[in-house]
A and B are shown apart, each in its own frame.
Chain A
Amino acid sequence: MAEVERLPYDVVVIGAGGAGLRAVIEARQRGHRVAVVCKSLFGKAHTVMAEGGCAASMGNVNDNDNWQVHFRDTMRGGKFLNNWRMAELHAKEAPDRVWELETYGALFDRTADGRISQRNFGGHTYPRLAHVGDRTGLELIRTMQQKVVSLQQEDHAATGDYEANIKVFAECTVTELFTEGDRVTGALAYWRESGRFVVFEAPSIVLATGGIGKSFQVTSNSWEYTGDGHALAARAGASLINMEFVQFHPTGMVWPPSVKGILVTEGVRGDGGVLRNAEGKRFMFDYVPEVFKGQYAESEEEADRWYADQNANRRTPDLLPRDEVARAINAEVKAGRGSPHGGVFLDIASRMSAEEIKRRLPSMYHQFKELADVDITAEPMEVGPTCHYVMGGIEVDPDSGAAAGVRGLFAAGECSGGMHGSNRLGGNSLSDLLVFGRRAGLGAANHVESGAGDTGIPQAEVDAAMERALAPVTAEQGENPYTVHAELQQTMNELVGIIRTEAEIADAIGKLETFKQRVAGVSVNGVREFNPGWHLALDLRNMLLVSECVARAALERTESRGGHTREDYPGMRAPWRNQLIQCLYTGGGVRLHTVDQVPMRTDLLELFEYEELQKYFTEEELTGLATGATTGKE
């Protein structure tokens, strides 16, 4: 094989979304040389699509808010399966990360007294989401892009080289990680433009590659979300956890077909929009589950009063966590009370003036006007569930983001697992990126400083990795990767989607086995320069691996919880609450291993009412805990 460029760095960050960029900034601030490698152009990562906001208990709008309330909401949203240490760090550190972003220059909507404004969102007790209209993710990523530019200009002033400490490798795809024993030593990547390979040699690698939604047919995710980080980590020997939990966002566009799945922000409901069925009924009042009884309004009148007076009233069930709302919509459509195009109605038009809607939700106004020819200030939107987020991901150490099983490997953001348990609350993603992006950057820096050893990668391994990557280009007469991709998406959507059964999941696993042969045999036409067929052929391997994890874990978990609903095993089962299903890659396929979670610290347990804990925990787990545990409001 031809000579390939080798580039030594202290830290290589794969992915330039919110988590990746925050890790880059942190590692650079600690004095390390960082490469950031991303599939898209710099600044166009999937984070731009986050709309509603970034959850942080700053208490700017309701000063009853604090980290304990945020922690409780997050654990409830995840049905107590969350890694409690991550949820704790997240709730405690999110405000500092938002304020820090503001000092970087981020734009935010403001309160009357000029502080960062906060909006209501599903599952959050108080208005908690710092936001910029409905384009918060765009502003978040732009701000960190700008911060990177400012650091590069600082480095230029000091050294004469803009790229002395941070170099961006845009439109560059990582195909494999290199390991030696149990530690990571580098990565193989190729420039999408030229098809040329490059080898990164680094003691610390941070994965921040986002999600897996492109394995499903109807999704709000963009082309980048092919589970790259999940698959890279699994192949390198790391374990993935919680892969059965996939979030279907309740409100995606359902019509026209060309835009099916595109996100409609939860901010519509946060700001007053309500869900109605074909009969015009606000059906969410019928879908408040047992565990949330008493926490949500029981009449439309109370729900509507809540917007003005949150202390005397309870919130509308339109703002239940996403898994609950998505299942409710699914049930309404199934019962024949859906909208003409197979969704339900989301009504903001009758709730506020046209001017107010355009001011608060400008992107939604334009999105529906331009893509569906619907004026949301005059008529209701049609919405339905769309694959949006994967709670599962690389198993990490909560404090440092270190991947379990592979030294020197770190993960943050959507590709890591644990933080959100079985279901993520809206707004907790952007805060997750900031909190754990920073922590992974720190973890990676500490690992470099610990003297991780030399990172020489044998040429034979590099050659073999290049050969594997080039297989679709050298193969002849193979199948078109687009055909296999379309069938994979259909299989996952129909058989391992929002409602699951044993027979269907087993059927899916059988199909995935046949896809393995087909994916191994795909071939693409043309050259290596910007060859989208080749890119897809490589992404397809990753999608197939993560799909197998999702399907196998979904078959294993015989209960319904959060983003995993088994029609044949309805309801939560307490013994499953502390069980983590680990997915390990063994070469030919995925092997499962079920382990216990670390029990939650008593001081955190005591933040909840005993009666609430009883709904989730086994009696055995609660022995010794005072039955009169009170709700902390400090």
Chain B
Amino acid sequence: MTTTEAAPKPAPVPEGSRTVTLKIQRFNPEVDDAPHFETYDVPALPTDRVLNLLFYVKNYLDGSFAFRRSCAHGVCGSDAMRINGVNRLACKVLMKDMFAANGKQTTLTIEPIKGLPLEKDLYVDMEPFFEAYRAIKPYLMTYGNDPTRERIQSAADRARFDDTTKCILCACCTTSCPVYWSEGSYFGPAAIVNAHRFIFDSRDEGAEERLDILNDVEGVWRCRTTFNCTDACPRGIQVTKAIQEVKRALLFKRT
């Protein structure tokens, strides 16, 4: 169904665009018992991102369609969603990579990320995700007095944990993890990545404390190394590797 209400002017169709079908999961808690799919035909240029198409739906076809977005170029991590079954940031998926071959009709299925409570349309409640993040004490822990200027850190020490500082807390990794889907109490990859960021920071003195937290029954040992998280990370963080390093740190600590 394509809705046309609330569009006072005909929606613009840019030159060189082709029509793409968006199959979007919609849910309005006020009136719907369960989520359902609606389809919208929208024009797409090869240089459009999926985010542009979602805006088209919202601006011209149905003004009540709700999804999170902010910076629109992959830095803030607000627009994580399932696009054709894979967790991606809508602002970083180019349509030229999504068009069906041989001029066939392109259909994109858009769903909210899995494993978090659904609120409306593509909005999910992020609180459980942030709760896990906070649980690993994501801040520098030091003892003794702060220096008057900066702490000294060599380029090599700084490089040691560079990869895991790139996290934008978008939840693509955590909500792609089959363990997280089935056992919501699992910390999930993002929390472990953020623990890694401090455990391997040469300035931090709280590694023991964090490792104890992650050694918990809901901690790193739940990871079954399926690599979904690494594939899903829009920042290219080696998530599974970071989890493995935390596991090794725990094993080393025990011996």
A interface, CB within 8 angstroms of B:
40-44, 46, 48-49, 58, 98-99, 102-105, 107-110, 112-116, 132, 135, 138-139, 146-147, 149-150, 152-153, 193, 222-224, 256-259, 262, 363, 366-367, 370-373, 479-483, 524-527, 529-533
Choose among A43, A135, A258, A532 the residue that contacts B45 (Cβ–Cβ < 8 A).
A258
Near A by CB (< 8 A), chain B positions 121-177 give 121, 123, 126, 130, 134, 137-140, 142, 146-155, 158, 162, 165-166, 168-169
Given A103-B146, A480-B7, do A41 and B68 touch, yes or no (CB 8 Å)? yes
| B71 CB contacts on chain A under 8 angstroms | 44, 46, 48-49, 222
| B103 CB contacts on chain A under 8 angstroms | none
Given A115-B150, A370-B92, do A105 and B139 touch, yes or no (CB 8 Å)? yes
Q: List 8 A-B contacts (CB under 8 A).
A: A40-B78, A105-B201, A107-B201, A114-B155, A149-B134, A259-B72, A480-B63, A532-B65
Are the C-beta atoms of B70 and A222 separated by less than 8 Å?
yes
| A108 CB contacts on chain B under 8 angstroms | 150, 158
**CA–CA, A367 to B235, complex, Å?**
11
**CA–CA, A43 to B63, complex, Å?**
26
**CA–CA, A527 to B64, complex, Å?**
8
Closest B residue, CB atoms, query A253:
B73
**CA–CA, A531 to B139, complex, Å?**
35
Are the C-beta atoms of B119 and A115 separated by less than 8 Å?
no
| A107 CB contacts on chain B under 8 angstroms | 158, 162, 165, 201
Query: What bracket does the count of chain B residues touching chain A fall in?
Result: 35 or more
Are the C-beta atoms of A480 and B139 separated by less than 8 Å?
no
| Nearest CB of A to B112, in Å | 12
B18 within 8 A of A: no
Are the C-beta atoms of A529 and B70 separated by less than 8 Å?
no
Are the C-beta atoms of A529 and B203 separated by less than 8 Å?
no
| B168 CB contacts on chain A under 8 angstroms | 48, 138
B36 within 8 A of A: no
Given A102-B151, A104-B140, do A479 and B169 touch, yes or no (CB 8 Å)? no
B66 within 8 A of A: yes
| Nearest CB of A to B219, in Å | 18
**CA–CA, A378 to B48, complex, Å?**
23
**CA–CA, A147 to B139, complex, Å?**
6
| Nearest CB of A to B181, in Å | 22
Given A149-B138, A223-B70, do A483 and B8 touch, yes or no (CB 8 Å)? yes
Are the C-beta atoms of A222 and B158 separated by less than 8 Å?
no
Choose among B77, B150, B154 the residue that contacts A99 (Cβ–Cβ < 8 A).
B150
**CA–CA, A371 to B234, complex, Å?**
13
| B230 CB contacts on chain A under 8 angstroms | none
For the residues of B in contact with A, the DSSP-based class is: loop
**CA–CA, A98 to B9, complex, Å?**
51
Choose among B47, B59, B130 the residue that contacts A257 (Cβ–Cβ < 8 A).
B47
Closest A residue, CB atoms, query B161:
A107
| Nearest CB of A to B125, in Å | 8
B30 within 8 A of A: yes
Closest B residue, CB atoms, query A372:
B47
B28 within 8 A of A: yes
Are the C-beta atoms of B152 and A114 separated by less than 8 Å?
yes
Closest A residue, CB atoms, query B69:
A223
Are the C-beta atoms of A99 and B8 separated by less than 8 Å?
no
Task: Give a binary string over B2-33; 1 marks a CB under 8 Å from any A CB, 0 the rest.
Answer: 00011111000010000000000000111100
| B139 CB contacts on chain A under 8 angstroms | 104-105, 146-147, 149-150
The 7 closest A-B pairs by CB, nearest first: A105-B140, A256-B47, A526-B64, A533-B63, A114-B152, A530-B66, A146-B139
| Nearest CB of B to A625, in Å | 36
A146-B138, A146-B139, A367-B74 given; 12 more Cβ-contact pairs under 8 Å: A42-B130, A48-B75, A108-B158, A258-B45, A370-B92, A480-B6, A526-B63, A529-B28, A529-B120, A530-B119, A530-B123, A533-B6
B213 within 8 A of A: no
Are the C-beta atoms of A479 and B8 separated by less than 8 Å?
yes
Are the C-beta atoms of B8 and A110 separated by less than 8 Å?
no
Task: Give a binary string over B97-135; 1 marks a CB under 8 Å from any A CB, 0 the rest.
Answer: 000000000000000000000011101001000100010
Are the C-beta atoms of A482 and B76 separated by less than 8 Å?
no
Closest B residue, CB atoms, query A523:
B6
Are the C-beta atoms of A110 and B154 separated by less than 8 Å?
yes
| A370 CB contacts on chain B under 8 angstroms | 74, 92, 94
Are the C-beta atoms of B63 and A532 separated by less than 8 Å?
yes
**CA–CA, A138 to B68, complex, Å?**
18
Given A479-B8, A525-B6, do A193 and B119 touch, yes or no (CB 8 Å)? yes
Are the C-beta atoms of A371 and B94 separated by less than 8 Å?
yes
Are the C-beta atoms of B203 and A105 separated by less than 8 Å?
yes
| A113 CB contacts on chain B under 8 angstroms | 152
B49 within 8 A of A: yes
| Nearest CB of A to B160, in Å | 11
